[in-house]
Structures are given as C-alpha cells and as structure tokens.
C-alpha cells in the first residue's frame, strides 16, 4: 500500500504542478506585495514587516537555480511547486488512513478539493509566501500524526524545527499550533518540552538573517532591524499597522456582534472554497472520527486559523476588499479541512458493505470531484484566463518609461512602490528614479539622509510634515522633477499636472503650455497606449492596478480635451476604458467628447455605461442633454427630471425647460425658468431661454425684458452683441398708453 500511496502523491504533485505552472502569469503579478517580495528575494534584502526570512532565502536560492523566465515568474513557479507539494501531502495523509483502494480515491479527492479551492489555487500562482505556508502546515500534519503519546519520535523534534522555520515564512502558522499539538498527541513532559524547545529555538534562529543582513545595508532594508528595538518593531509590524489587518477596525474577539457576523462570514467562505459537498464531508469526517487525535487536531487547526481568525480580523463582509484581505488567511484552514473531507469520504466507505465499497467510493470520489469542479467552474475559468493578467507589469513599465530622468516619486502607494521596486531591482530598469518611501518613520528619515543627503536641507527635521515640505520645496527649487502617483497626493501649495501615468508637481498658476508639454511627452510613449485589458474575473488587486492606469489615462484625456485635441482625448478615454471598464469618469468624459464630435448614439451609450457604474445626477444630466440634442424629447425629459430629483444643478432645470419648450409646453417651460432664476439669479442661460419661452407665448415685452437681463448678466462681448441683435429683430417696444 505504501507504494500506491507514493504513486498517488507523485501523480497529484505532477498534475497540480503542471496546472499551476500553466496558469502562472509570465510577468510580475498584481497581487498585493508581489513586487516587494520578488525584489527582496532577488537582492536578499529585508522585506516589509515581518521580514519573511525563510521565503527570501528560499526564493533567492530557487531563482538562482532556475535559469529560465524572469525573477517574478521563477517565484511564481516556486509557489506552484509549494502548492502542488501541499496537495500531494494531503493525498498522502488521507490515503494513509486506510489500507484499501478506496482510501486512495479519498486521498485523490481531498487533494483535488485543496488544489481547486479558489484561494489556494490563486495564491499558488503569485510571488508570495502563502502557498509555502500551506505546504508547511501540511508537512507538519503529515509529520506529527500517528505518534504514540509517549513515543520518543524524532519526528516531533523535526516538527518543532519545521514549525519555527515556518514562522520565518508566515507568522499566522502559530494559529495552527494548538491543533498540531493535539494531532501529535503531545504531552507536556519536562524532558520532551526541553528537547522540543531546543529544536524550536534552533529553527527560530533563522530570524537572525534580518539584523545580520541589515548590517550590510542592502538596497531594500525595511525598518533597518540592526538593533534589538528596530528588530522587534519589524517582526511585530510596529511601523506597519501592528497585528491588525485594518487600521480602523479593532480585533473582534471581545465583541458578540463580531462573533456572529464573523462566524456567518466564515461559513460563507467555507462554502465558497469547499462547496456544499466538500463542507458536508468535512463535518462528517469530524463527527465520525472525533475520537482520533489527528481528526480533532486538524479540526482545531482549521478553526483557529480560519473562523477564529476571521472573527478576530473583524472586517466588513460587504466591502469589496474584505475577501481580498482575508484570502491569504484561507490557505491554512483549507489544507486542514481538505484532510477532514477526505477522512469523511473514507468514513462513508466504511459504512458500506465490502461488496459495495469498491464501487461506491470511486463513484463518490467522482461525484465529489465533479461537484467541486462545478462549484468552482467560473473561478477555474478565471484562473485559466488570468495567466495573461499583466496589470502590474503594464502599469510598472509604462510608469517607469514616462518618468523623466532623475525624477523623484513622492510617497507612492504600496502597489506603485513595490511594482517600481521590481522593475528597478529585478529588471535593472530606471535606476535613476528615486522613490521617496517611508520617510515619515524615523528609520526611513535616517536612511534617506544617509543615502540621499542632497535631497534634504542641512539640520535635523523634527516632524514628518516638516520633512515632507522640505523634500518637495528642495526638489522644486532645484528644478528636479518630482512626481506623485495619484493627483490627490499633491502637497498644499502645489499642483499635479498629468505626465504619463504619474503627475508632475508644480507651483504657481497653470498654463496651457505647461499642460501641453506634459501631454505631448506622454503621447510620445507608445507603450502608454498599448493597453492590454484586465481579464474578466481578475482579482481585486489586478483591478486596483488597472484603476491606477485607467485613471491616469483619463486625466491625460482631460488635458487633451482642454487643449482642444478632441480626437486625442477620445482615444485616451477609450484606452482608459480598455483597462478598467467600470470607470464612470472616463465613460462620462468620453460621452462629452462624442457629443462634441456629433456622435449622439456613441455619447448616449457612454453616458449609460457611466450610469451603470455611478448613477450620479451629473451623468444623468449629460445623458438627458444628449437625448435632447438628438431630438428624443420625451426620453430627455424623463432623464432630466430624474437628475433634478437626485439633486442635479441648475443646468438640469434649464435643459428640462428646453425639452418642455420643444414639446410645445411653453407655459411650463417659462414657469420652470422663472423658478430657476429665483433660486440662481446669476444663471445666464435661463434668461436667454426665458426670452424664447415668452416669445413662444407671444409675450414680447417680457421676452425683451428677459433678453435685456441676459445681456446684463453675460460678460462675453460676443454674447452681448448677439442679445442686442435679437432685441433688434423683435422690434421696438410698444409706445405706452
């Protein structure tokens, strides 16, 4: 039977590894911190907290051994390898619970459950440490089960060593510790505790990499943990939000409402990852095998690393980013739950007669696999499609290409900073660009002063705000280009001018020439407009990277439109929408341009797309105006009334009056314009239209009064002249009595 188990494990590993390798993105993944992990591993740096020494060392060894593909793809392959090995271990564990062929089928089914679960599959494709965390969890369970409570099994000591090493990969492994101890049948005897502690401390010594490497001042040296205090702040995430997953939401372990919502959301996550059949088998496996320590231990480990963690995280299930934040923390519980499901399948076999068993278990395993495949068919299609999800790669390449020589990138978001870090350190591109990172921390300020003293004035700066002002002021005074990745980051007293995928900071009033130069430099970059759409079903972080790209293109389109380059602006808006279909600003702006170009049907379609993404009164007004210009007065009236009801401005009321006038209701139109002018006396178009309305009613004295009021309100000489000509066409006012 051992030979069959080995063959099963090897077959599972080969099949899953090839599947994952096929699905892996050839370039940098857009997932969370992938750029930082890839750059840190390649340069043997110190990554963001808590440092991840095991992943960095293994990643550097692996990227050195694997001679093909870029650094990111090599690390994707490492994640695929770890995920496939974890699935193979789950098959080995479950198949070892019996001595007959049905146990092998159950092992294969449990491995399929794990390998095809959305979170585990996704995280086995990216340059992150999560699938390695799952492998460590599976290896610990395989190593520790089946021991006698008093047996001096060296596997226990090896498990202590592996557990400590695993903490150097991801610290959430600690949540599985109570369950692993139960699965091992561990008893707290003094001699055993001493030996286990010794091996644990030996593995924990891996963390010495962080201060030792920091002393060499690598290019990536997050937190500079070369002292005990800074080392502790790094490994406890002291400068990175602490142990909470969301800075504004406290831990939920002491809140009854958090327990209720957290457990309900955990159930939803379990069904999403396992399907109904897989979840039911896991519950059955726990009920039937509750007397066995490995079953109790796996269940406890799954609960502590899954539902208990979700309750503690206390995130809002209604928010789009919640699943994205929790997704990495589903890997460990799914590993343990897959074992429970496999054991549940074996329990079903043992409830059958021997004659039925050989037939029923393969059939149940097939139903199990088909049910799981059907549950995750859409997610599986997304995983297969997103092998060409190059959101981060495209964004990073276009961003780097558009930045001027020796530019400073001020306070970029993690996604921008980590992507640029990968391009600089793993690809050797744009090493002249300096990202201004972490300068609001003391260690970041000291690192900046030591490495880039020319960027700062003499003397010590006492606050982050003072430092920020000094950095921007010195760059602008010296003429050195300084950019931001988002326009809202422009510090007080500066403007953000679109320039490629970033925004150049400047002081003083804007000028068309300045904006034109920025726009033209962006247009010269052919890579900027060669946009690959984000695949359907792409994850939260891929869409996030696409939004950076599309927002920048949208803002460049506004610049082009302001410069009168209408065709160019339409092209940029379309490129923005190729990258992010749900960007209402780009749809609305495209509608405005198409309306200006006389494409009424295209403008209507763009406005309706904008409304689907953001049903704002302004967009609805634009749609109503497009319908009005197109002569579809009844539809225009309906949309304009809805815009007004939703809080639309005076423009909506003004155009509604025109729709009423066009449908031969001048009295209603006049009453509406009179009401509008009571509310907004300075709204000039309403005086002009009021003149039209009174003229349609045959009330020429009031029409003349409205036109004269219009002439007084407007400041444009051409509009004043037009009002004078209109008064002349209406003739002189009648002579009084």
Confidence of residue 417 (pLDDT cuts 50, 70, 90): very high
Residues in the chain: 737
Q: Are 665 and 676 in contact (CB under 8 A)?
A: no
Q: What are 158's two structure tokens?
A: 């090896």
In 3-state terms the chain splits into helix, strand, coil percentages (rounded to 5) of 70, 5, 25
Taking each helix axis from N to C end, the angle separating 331-350 and 130-144, rounded to the nearest 10 degrees, works out to 40
Structure confidence at residue 735 (pLDDT): 39
Higher pLDDT, 725 or 383: 725
pLDDT over threshold 80, residue 342: yes
Structure confidence at residue 227 (pLDDT): 93
Structure confidence at residue 624 (pLDDT): 92
> Phi-psi category of 664—alpha, beta or left, where left has phi over 0 and alpha has psi -120 to 50?
left
Of the ranges 43-57, 350-364, 472-486, which one carries the lowest mean pLDDT score?
A: 350-364
Which residues, other chains included, contact 212 with Cβ-Cβ below 8 Å and sequence gap of 6+? none
Tens of pLDDT along 549-572?
Answer: 888 889 888 888 888 888 888 988
Average confidence score pLDDT of the chain: 86
Which of 323, 48, 329 is CA-nearest to residue 175?
329
pLDDT over threshold 90, residue 200: yes
Structure confidence at residue 730 (pLDDT): 77
Instruction: Using alpha carbons only, give the angle 281, 140, 346 rounded to the nearest 5 degrees.
Output: 25
Confidence of residue 590 (pLDDT cuts 50, 70, 90): very high
Q: What are 693's two structure tokens?
A: 């309305």
pLDDT over threshold 80, residue 351: no
Q: Judge residue 708's burial from the number of C-beta atoms within 10 Å of its C-beta, 0-12 exposed, 13-18 middle, 19 or more buried.
A: middle
pLDDT over threshold 70, residue 1: no
Q: Say how many C-beta atoms besides its own lie within 10 A of residue 57's C-beta.
A: 17
Of the ranges 27-41, 78-92, 716-730, which one carries the lowest mean pLDDT score?
A: 716-730
Structure confidence at residue 492 (pLDDT): 87
Q: What are 645's two structure tokens?
A: 């009801």
Of the ranges 120-124, 241-245, 372-376, 521-525, which one carries the lowest mean pLDDT score?
A: 521-525
pTM: 0.86
Whether the upstream peptide bond of residue 279 has omega within 30° of 0, thus cis, is: no
Question: What sign does the CA torsion over 496, 498, 499, 501 have?
Answer: positive
Percentage, residues of the chain above pLDDT 70: 88
Structure confidence at residue 736 (pLDDT): 37
Distance CA 76, CA 69 (A): 10
Question: What sign does the CA torsion over 706, 712, 718, 721 have?
Answer: positive
Q: Are 502 and 356 in contact (CB under 8 A)?
A: no
Which residues, other chains included, contact 685 with Cβ-Cβ below 8 Å and sequence gap of 6+? 651, 654
Distance CA 541, CA 7 (A): 38
Going across the sheet that includes 408-410, the strands are 434-436, 408-410, 482-484, 502-506, 495-499
* pLDDT mean over 659-666: 91
Distance CA 633, CA 80 (A): 59
* pLDDT mean over 335-352: 88
Tens of pLDDT along 598-628?
Answer: 888 899 999 999 999 888 999 999 999 999 9
Q: Are 625 and 637 in contact (CB under 8 A)?
A: no
Distance CA 205, CA 388 (A): 39
Confidence of residue 734 (pLDDT cuts 50, 70, 90): very low
Structure confidence at residue 732 (pLDDT): 60
Which of 32, 41, 46 is CA-nearest to residue 447?
46
Taking each helix axis from N to C end, the angle separating 566-579 and 584-596, rounded to the nearest 10 degrees, works out to 150
Structure confidence at residue 365 (pLDDT): 64
Tens of pLDDT along 213-237?
Answer: 999 999 999 999 999 999 999 998 8
Of the ranges 196-200, 525-529, 697-701, which one carries the lowest mean pLDDT score?
A: 525-529
Tens of pLDDT along 457-508?
Answer: 887 877 778 888 889 999 999 889 999 999 999 988 898 988 888 899 988 6
Q: What are 435's two structure tokens?
A: 């990202």
Distance CA 284, CA 341 (A): 8
Cα 555 to Cα 525, 582, 597: the distances in Å are 16, 16, 19
Q: What are 638's two structure tokens?
A: 């309906």
pLDDT over threshold 60, residue 733: no
Higher pLDDT, 349 or 299: 299
* pLDDT mean over 46-50: 94
Tens of pLDDT along 368-378?
Answer: 666 666 666 55
């Amino acid at each position: 039977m051992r030979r069959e188990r080995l063959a099963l494990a090897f077959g599972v590993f080969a099949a899953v590894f090839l599947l994952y390798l096929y699905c892996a993105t050839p370039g940098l993944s857009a997932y969370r911190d992938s750029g930082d992990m890839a750059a840190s591993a390649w340069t043997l740096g110190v990554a963001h907290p808590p440092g991840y020494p095991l992943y960095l060392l293994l990643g550097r060894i692996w990227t050195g051994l694997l001679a093909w593909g870029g650094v990111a793809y090599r690390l994707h392959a490492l994640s695929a390898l770890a995920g496939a090995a974890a699935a193979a271990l789950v098959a080995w564990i479950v198949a070892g619970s019996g001595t007959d062929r049905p146990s092998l089928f159950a092992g294969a089914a449990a491995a399929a459950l794990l390998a095809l679960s959305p979170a585990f599959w996704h995280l086995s494709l990216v340059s992150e440490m999560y699938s390695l965390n799952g492998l460590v969890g599976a290896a610990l369970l395989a190593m520790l089960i089946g021991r006698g409570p008093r047996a001096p099994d060296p596997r226990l000591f090896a498990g202590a060593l592996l557990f400590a090493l695993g903490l150097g990969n991801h610290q959430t492994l600690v949540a599985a510790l109570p369950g692993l101890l139960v699965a091992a049948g561990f008893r707290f005897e003094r001699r055993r505790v001493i030996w286990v502690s010794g091996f644990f401390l030996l593995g924990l010594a891996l963390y010495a990499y962080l201060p030792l490497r920091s002393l060499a001042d690598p290019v990536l040296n997050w937190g500079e943990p070369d002292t005990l205090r800074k080392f502790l702040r790094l490994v406890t995430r002291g400068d990175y939000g602490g142990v909470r997953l969301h800075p504004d939401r406290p831990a939920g372990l002491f809140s009854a409402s958090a327990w209720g919502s957290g457990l309900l959301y955990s159930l939803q996550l379990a069904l999403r990852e396992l399907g109904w059949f897989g979840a039911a088998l896991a519950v059955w496996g726990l009920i039937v095998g509750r007397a066995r320590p490995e079953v109790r231990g796996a269940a406890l480990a799954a609960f502590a690393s899954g539902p208990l963690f979700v309750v503690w995280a206390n995130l809002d299930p209604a928010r789009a980013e919640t699943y994205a934040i929790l997704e990495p923390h589903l890997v460990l519980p799914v590993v343990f739950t897959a074992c429970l499901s496999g054991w549940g399948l074996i329990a079903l076999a043992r409830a059958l007669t021997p004659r039925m068993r050989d037939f029923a278990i393969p059939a149940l395993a097939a139903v199990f696999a088909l049910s799981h495949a059907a549950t995750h068919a859409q997610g599986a299609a997304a995983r297969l499609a997103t092998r060409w999800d190059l959101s981060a790669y495209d964004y990073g390449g276009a961003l780097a290409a558009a930045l001027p020589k020796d530019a400073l990138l001020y306070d970029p978001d993690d996604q921008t900073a980590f992507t640029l870090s990968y391009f600089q350190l793993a690809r050797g591109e744009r090493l002249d660009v300096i990202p201004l990172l972490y300068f609001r921390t003391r260690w970041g300020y000291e690192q900046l002063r030591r490495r880039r003293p020319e960027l700062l004035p003499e003397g010590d700066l006492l606050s982050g705000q003072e430092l920020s002002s000094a950095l921007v002021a010195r760059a602008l005074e010296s003429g050195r280009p300084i950019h931001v990745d988002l326009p809202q980051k422009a510090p007080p007293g500066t403007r953000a001018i679109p320039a490629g995928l970033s925004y150049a900071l400047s002081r003083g009033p804007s000028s068309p020439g300045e904006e034109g130069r920025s726009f033209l430099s962006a247009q010269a970059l052919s890579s900027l407009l060669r946009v690959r759409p984000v695949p359907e079903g792409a994850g939260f972080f891929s869409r996030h990277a696409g939004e950076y790209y599309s927002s920048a293109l949208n803002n460049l389109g506004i610049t082009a439109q302001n410069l009168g380059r209408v065709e160019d602006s339409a092209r940029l808006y379309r490129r923005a929408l190729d990258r992010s279909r749900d960007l209402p600003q780009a749809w609305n702006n495209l509608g405005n341009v198409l309306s200006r170009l006389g494409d009424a049907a295209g403008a209507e379609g763009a406005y309706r797309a904008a409304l689907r993404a953001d049903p704002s009164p302004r967009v609805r007004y634009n749609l109503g105006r497009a319908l009005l210009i197109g002569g579809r007065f009844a539809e225009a009236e309906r949309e304009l009334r809805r815009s007004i009801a939703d809080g639309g401005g005076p423009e909506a009321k003004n155009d509604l009056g025109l729709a009423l006038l066009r449908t031969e209701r001048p009295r209603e139109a006049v009453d509406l314009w009179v009401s509008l002018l009571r509310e907004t006396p300075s709204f000039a178009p309403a005086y002009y239209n009021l003149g039209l309305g009174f003229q349609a009613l045959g009330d020429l004295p009031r029409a003349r009064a409205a036109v004269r009021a219009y002439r007084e309100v407007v400041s444009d000489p051409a509009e004043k002249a037009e009002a004078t000509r209109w008064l002349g066409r209406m003739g002189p006012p009648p002579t009084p009595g």
